[in-house]
Amino acid sequence: MPQPASKQITITLPDGSTRAMAEGSSALDLANSISKGLASAAIAARIDGEVKDLMLPLHNGAKVEILKRNAPEALEIIRHDTAHVMAEAVQALYPGTQVTIGPAIENGFYYDFARAEPFTPDDLPKIEAKMREIVAADRPFVREVWERNKAIEHFEKIGEKYKAEIIRDLPGTATITVYRQGNWMDLCRGPHLPSTGKIGTAFKLTKVSGAYWRGDAKNAPLQRIYGTAWRDEKELKAYLTMIEEAEKRDHRKLGREMELFHLQDDAAGSVFWHPKGWKLYRLLEDYIRARLEQNGYVEVNTPQLVGKSLFQASGHWEMFGDKMFTVQLDENQEFGIKPMNCPCHVQIFNQGIKSYRDLPIRMAEFGSCHRNETSGSLHGIMRVRAFTQDDAHIFCREDQIMEESLRYCQLQMRVYEDLGFPPEQVIVKLALRPDIRGGTDATWDRAEKGLRDAMNKAGLAFEELPFEGAFYGPKIEFHLKDAIGRTWQCGTLQLDFVLPERLDAHYVGEDGAKHRPVMLHRALLGTLERFIGILIEHYAGRLPLWLAPVQAVVADITNDVDDYAVEVHKALADAGLRVEIDTRAEKINYKIREHSLKKVPLMLVVGKKEATSKTVALRRLGGEDQQMMTLAEVVTKLREEAESPLEKEKEAKELVIALATRWQKG
RNA sequence: GCUGCCGUAGCUCAGGGGUAGAGCACGUCCUUGGUAAGGACGGGGUCGUAGGUUCAAUUCCUAUCGGCAGCACCA
């Protein structure tokens, strides 16, 4: 067909070369002009740095990269498209259901629907089957630009009031785009795949849940359906297998299997620590205590039951009273069980007169706290109603904020490193001023800058969260991931300008006048409970030797060598190792299996051979072979291996001193 | 707190209007076996709790407590 002579546009490809195309050509045309294969593999285009639809007409001078299925951006598009297809399927199967939003998320997507009747897990296979029909029909995604008022009117008319509301809330300058797939259409910014068939078959609906319109519990409840979607079946299967494996690391399951703790209905949200779990708890507490002592903290202990008046003065009664457990002593006396330690720490600070020379005061407490958390938020030992914070409050002058924050960040990262979380596994966030807040803007400016500078100086990569700070000050949050990738806030540093004011804390400055100290609330682990939960999942129960409640089991092969097993056990116990002995009349296979399932790091197997030669066979958890060594050797070796990071640090220091001394003498 | 699902032996789970079953675990006995489950026999449950329906409820209904997933919350 003869084309009318049209204008040409010039497109730049990623390799820097240019290509002339007819005006109005799309990225798909460009792909076609390069190769048929590229055109059929193309799923979207990066135009001047932004991911766009393939069908969009290109402008002169555009830099265009054709994106294929293996592009990192592809997954997000596939997931988003799968959400659209799910929405179509849902509306086809359940007429009257309204659509709201349906974004791609990590590993998949969801779509929130407004429907009186909730979805149940039984609905998922039906919806999924319908989705596969829509994908098989391979309908093209067609982008349309609509006039704002027409769009609002249209969505109102078809009863999609949430979509109409979304458009109304868009800035007046926004381009309103609608994507069609066959007869179904959705308000959407895009980009999308060329057609539904490009989604492929590697998707699966995973769960239904409630949600709220715009994420606010005051708004209308919605029904959310989650799914996962991948490039191909292999990726999908790998993901599902990964989830299955991760579930085996669940701290609730391992906690029971390893005899660490249990939970029961009578004390929902509180932990029953068993001997082994309590050992782990104390090891962790001892480690933190030692680190605090090194870092200039003093430790205190404050009351559990505190009169209402103090919490009224601190402001907690008003702000958090609904989450506090209270005790009515008589008509006139109401006590609260402390939900946090700060008001009490201020009381200690307020005893006597403090000079500017006394600051900073770093006041630590392994503070046992109780909060009446909502039933839906409880989770194993990670979110409980009774917990112990490795809490501390640093009372300092405003000019010390930066220095103290830096010291905290450095200590925090040191501690996480020691416990097996290198910096790349720690998610750091800086929560900035919320709308409702205490203090002046100038103070907030200085506070936020102080924290930001400290974090930068400590070399932390962090994300900023606007409006997420506490009403009394900005905060740094350190999050760690659990087995299935959910993140939990553990360590935190929170600046507080309000509480010292409310509880009238002051110090005498150089000028002889009274001044307000600044309070830094901070925790390294967060709570012992949550951290132990994270630790168990992080290590899949295989705790490092220095933290293992039982470090080794001596197991004999025949009861003929019971005496020798006792001797080995005693030698190790005398060396300070946490060791158990297993002389039951069971086969060695049986014993190894059992102790392996309980994640005991080391097994010392002794039989007739070992008894005669005074040796042991050392077997490591999960290992397939064993090392033969003499009893004396194994004691020395294990004692060294079982050293905590602190002991290792101390030894290294001593070595340096010894060498320096020798050098000076020499 | 909200939505959905769930609650049966220590654990994992099956069952189902006529008062219960498996595997593992546990106990006893036999076995003394060289690196992830040796064998035999045996004990064990008010079927989360409270009401209701029914001749009869662990099973059906309601409430309640607790758990799981997600949402909301998280000083």
Distance A487 CA to B67 C1' (A): 21
The tens digit of pLDDT for each residue in A609-639 reads 999 999 999 999 988 889 999 999 999 999 9
Rounded to whole angstroms, the Cα distance separating A299 from A363 reads 6
Q: Which nucleotide is nearest to A110 (CA to C1')?
A: B70
Radius of gyration of chain A (CA): 32
Res A357 pLDDT > 80:
yes
Looking at residue A277, its pLDDT comes to 96
Looking at residue A40, its pLDDT comes to 87
Looking at residue A81, its pLDDT comes to 95
Q: Which amino acid is at A183?
A: N
Distance A302 CA to B22 C1' (A): 53
The tens digit of pLDDT for each residue in A254-304 reads 999 999 999 998 899 999 999 999 999 999 999 999 999 999 999 999 999
Selected residue with higher pLDDT from A114 and A497: A114
Q: Are A285 and A415 in contact (CB under 8 A)?
A: no
Looking at residue A2, its pLDDT comes to 47
Distance A376 CA to B18 C1' (A): 39
Name every residue whose Cβ is closer than 8 Å to that of residue A153 and which is 6 or more positions away in sequence. none
Q: Which nucleotide is nearest to A482 (CA to C1')?
A: B69
Handedness of CA A524, A527, A529, A533 (dihedral sign): negative
Q: Are A522 and A489 in contact (CB under 8 A)?
A: no
Res A410 pLDDT > 60:
yes
Res A663 pLDDT > 80:
no
Q: What is the pTM of this model?
A: 0.92
Selected residue with higher pLDDT from A101 and A497: A101
Nucleotides of strand B within 7 Å of the protein's CB atoms: 1-5, 7, 11-12, 30-38, 65-75
Place of tokens 């009257």: A96
Task: Report chain A's terminal Cα–Cα distance, integer Å.
Answer: 96
Name the E strands within A8-91.
Answer: 8-12, 18-22, 42-47, 50-52, 64-68
Distance A577 CA to B18 C1' (A): 60
Q: What pairs with residue A209 in β-bridges?
A: A224
Q: Are A506 and A220 in contact (CB under 8 A)?
A: no
Q: Which of A578, A497, A571, A526 is nearest to A388 (CA)?
A: A526
Cα A477 to chain center, whole Å?
Answer: 10
Q: Which nucleotide is nearest to A268 (CA to C1')?
A: B66
Looking at residue A566, its pLDDT comes to 96
Rounded to whole angstroms, the Cα distance separating A372 from A61 reads 61
Looking at residue A660, its pLDDT comes to 83
Active-site residue numbers of A? Answer: 342, 371, 389, 391, 393, 475, 521
Percent over 70 (pLDDT), chain A: 99
Q: Which nucleotide is nearest to A555 (CA to C1')?
A: B35
Distance A94 CA to B36 C1' (A): 51
Res A60 pLDDT > 90:
no
Q: Which nucleotide is nearest to A477 (CA to C1')?
A: B74
φ, ψ (nearest 5 deg) of residue A239: -65, -45
Q: For residue A445, give the 3-state DSSP assignment.
A: helix
Looking at residue A232, its pLDDT comes to 93
Res A4 pLDDT > 70:
no
Q: Which of A350, A340, A328, A352 is nearest to A303 (CA)?
A: A340
Q: Taking residues A329-333, what's their average pLDDT?
A: 85
The pair of structure tokens assigned to A612 is 């005669």
Q: What pairs with residue A67 in β-bridges?
A: A44
| Helix (H) and strand (E) counts in chain A | 21, 34
The pair of structure tokens assigned to A501 is 């004011």
Q: Taking residues A202-225, what's their average pLDDT?
A: 93
Q: Are A152 and A164 in contact (CB under 8 A)?
A: yes
The pair of structure tokens assigned to A152 is 């609002």
Q: Are A225 and A110 in contact (CB under 8 A)?
A: yes
Looking at residue A336, its pLDDT comes to 93
Q: What band does A164 get if pLDDT is binned at 50, 70 and 90?
A: very high
Q: Are A359 and A373 in contact (CB under 8 A)?
A: no
Looking at residue A139, its pLDDT comes to 93
Q: Which of A259, A305, A303, A194 is nearest to A550 (CA)?
A: A259
Which residue's CA lies closest to nucleotide B49 at its C1' atom? A265
Looking at residue A518, its pLDDT comes to 93
ipTM of this complex: 0.94
The tens digit of pLDDT for each residue in A372-398 reads 999 999 999 999 999 999 999 999 998
Q: Calculate helix-pair angle for A161-169, A148-157, nearest 10 degrees.
A: 160
Selected residue with higher pLDDT from A12 and A410: A410
Between the CA of residue A275 and those of A428, A450, A543, A614, A646, what are the distances in Å?
A: 34, 43, 16, 32, 24
Which residue's CA lies closest to nucleotide B48 at its C1' atom? A265
Selected residue with higher pLDDT from A37 and A291: A291
Please, what is the average pLDDT of chain A?
92
Distance A558 CA to B31 C1' (A): 12
Rounded to whole angstroms, the Cα distance separating A422 from A414 reads 9
A370-378, long-range: CB within 8 Å, 24+ apart, which pairs?
A: A370/A324, A370/A325, A370/A337, A370/A338, A370/A339, A371/A320, A371/A323, A371/A324, A371/A325, A371/A339, A372/A322, A372/A323, A372/A324, A372/A325, A373/A269, A373/A323, A375/A268, A378/A268, A378/A269
DSSP A2: P
Q: What band does A1 get if pLDDT is binned at 50, 70 and 90?
A: very low
Res A448 pLDDT > 70:
yes
